[in-house]
Amino acid sequence: MDDPHPTPAYTAVRDSLAAADAESGPAEAHGLLCGLVCARGAGDPEPWFEQILGPAPRAGTVPAPLDALWRSTRDELTGGGLSFHPLLPDDAAPLPERARALGQWGEGFLAGLGLGDLSDEAARGGEIGEFLQDVAEITRVGFAPASGEEDEAAYTEIVEYLRMGTLLVYETLNPPAAGPAGTVH
């Protein structure tokens, strides 16, 4: 089945942000979006659009790749599946560039949680607290220009950790609504 809201390419998001004179790059903007959705739920894209594009963008003025990124991220996080992936440069980009983007994604994610009013208790508690501490460490990640296979493997593991941790944060902060109580016969 086709995805009704496919994730736009990293380069399309990058170009849209540059054309809008946004201060954020694509990885940071996506991290910010994910943090906001985790902290506030997936109801309203306006806080994210305002953060990356400036005050109150008019309807129809949000570039299509950014609107598509909002929709695909919302669908991936709320869908209950494992289709979510951080928006990062593809594997053809040099590892140092991908590592910088990974750190920027983490910075955006933490900022989004903060803007979404994540409570101190939620941020410090259990698995979420550990994950957020790890994300703070990931923002400082770096790889030497002549990185080898071990660095590629480490990068891949970190991306997977961010992916699964983000899903955990979303599901923990946005538990599914309880269905109707079953009838006992």
Q: Which of 111, 106, 98, 89 is nearest to 140 (CA)?
A: 106
Nearest by Cα to 162 from 93, 98, 72: 98
C-alpha torsion angle, residues 24, 48, 111, 38 (rounded to 10): -130
The per-residue pLDDT for 143 is 63
Q: Model-level pTM? A: 0.88
- Contacts for 178 with CB less than 8 Å, ≥ 6 apart: none
Share of the chain above pLDDT 90, in %: 57
pLDDT, residue 150, reads 86
pLDDT, residue 55, reads 76
Q: Which stretches of the chain drop beneath a pLDDT of 70? A: 1-5, 56-60, 119-124, 142-147, 178-185
Nearest CA to 23 out of 60, 50, 62 is that of 50
Q: What pLDDT is attached to residue 125?
A: 72
Q: Domain boundaries in the chain?
A: 10-172
The CATH code of domain 10-172 reads 1.20.120.740
